[in-house]
Amino acid sequence: MTRLRVLLAEDHNVMREGLRMVIERDSGLEVVGEADNGVQAIQLTRDLKPAVVVMDISMPELNGLKATEMLTALAPDTRVLILTRHSDSSYVQQLLRSGASGYILKQSASDQLVHAIKRVAGGQAYLDPAITDQVVGGISADRHTAHAGRKLSNREEAVLRSVALGFLTKEIATELNISIKTVETHKANAMGKLGMKNRIDIVRYAMLQGWLQDT
C-alpha cells in the first residue's frame, strides 16, 4: 500500500518528534522529511514532493504563512496544513489568504490531526472546529441577505463549492469537463452575484451552506 507522504515544518524538536509519532501511528501516513524553518520547508518540499506539509506558523528565517504562500505557487500539487496555537480571527484570515488548505490548533486531539492531513490530501479544506464559528461570524448578515435573491446556477455553485474545498482551477476544469476560462467565468459570476471579494468570502459562504461540514 502506498502511504501518504508528509513533511513536518516545526522549529521545536520535542513538538516535531511528537508530531512524527502521532502521524506514523497511522499505517497510511509516512513522514518523509522534517524542517525547522520556513526556508528549509520550501527546499525539502521541492526535493521530496510530499502530498501534505504540516506547517507551523512561528518559525525562524521565514514564517509559516510566508512559506505557505511561496509553496502554493511553487508546488501547487502539495497541500499545506497550518499548525498553530493561535485561534483569533486575524490568523484565520491570513491563513485563507496564504493558500493553505487547512488550519488546525496544536492543542487539538492527535486523531484530529491525522484526519485533517488525510482530508487536505484528498483535496478538501479543513478548519479546526474550534475556530469555525469565528470565520462564519465574520460575515455580515445584511450583506448576504442583500444578495440572497440572486440565485447561482448549478454550474456556478459547483465551481464555487470546489474552490471552497481547495481544488485548483485546472482540477475543477477537468472534473467538470469545461475549460479553465469557463471555470474562471463561473467563479467571477458567482462572486459577483453574492457580493464576494476574495477567497475568504468564498470559504465563509461555503460554511454557511454546509459545504465544508467535516464528514
Q: Residues 71-111: pLDDT tens digits?
A: 988 898 899 999 887 665 556 666 667 788 888 888 787 88
pLDDT at 210: 67
**Res 117 pLDDT > 50:** yes
Of 3 and 167, more confident: 3
Kindly state whether residue 151 falls inside one of the protein's structural domains.
yes
Backbone angles phi, psi at 138, to 5 degrees: -80, -5
pLDDT at 39: 94
pLDDT at 140: 45
What global pTM score does this model have?
0.68
Query: In the chain, how many domains are there?
Result: 2
Kindly state whether residue 214 falls inside one of the protein's structural domains.
no
**pLDDT per residue as tens digits for the range 39-79:** 999 999 999 999 999 999 888 888 888 899 899 888 988 99
Cβ atoms of 176 and 183 closer than 8 Å: yes
Is 160 found in the same domain as 108? no
pLDDT at 89: 58
Kindly state whether residue 215 falls inside one of the protein's structural domains.
no
* Cα–Cα distance, 112 to 76 (Å, whole number): 24
* Cα–Cα distance, 143 to 181 (Å, whole number): 28
Is 119 found in the same domain as 63? yes
pLDDT at 132: 63
Cβ atoms of 201 and 123 closer than 8 Å: no
pLDDT at 48: 95
Which of 88, 119, 136 is the endpoint of a domain?
136
Is 132 found in the same domain as 30? yes
Is 59 found in the same domain as 39? yes
Range(s) of the domain holding residue 64:
4-136
pLDDT at 146: 41
* Cα–Cα distance, 63 to 88 (Å, whole number): 17
3-state secondary structure 28-81: CEEEEEEECCHHHHHHHHHHHCCCEEEEECCCCCCCHHHHHHHHHHHCCCCEEE
Read off the CATH number of the domain in which 79 is found: 3.40.50.2300
Which of 82, 117, 136 is the endpoint of a domain?
136
Is 109 found in the same domain as 84? yes
Mean pLDDT of the chain: 82
pLDDT at 22: 93
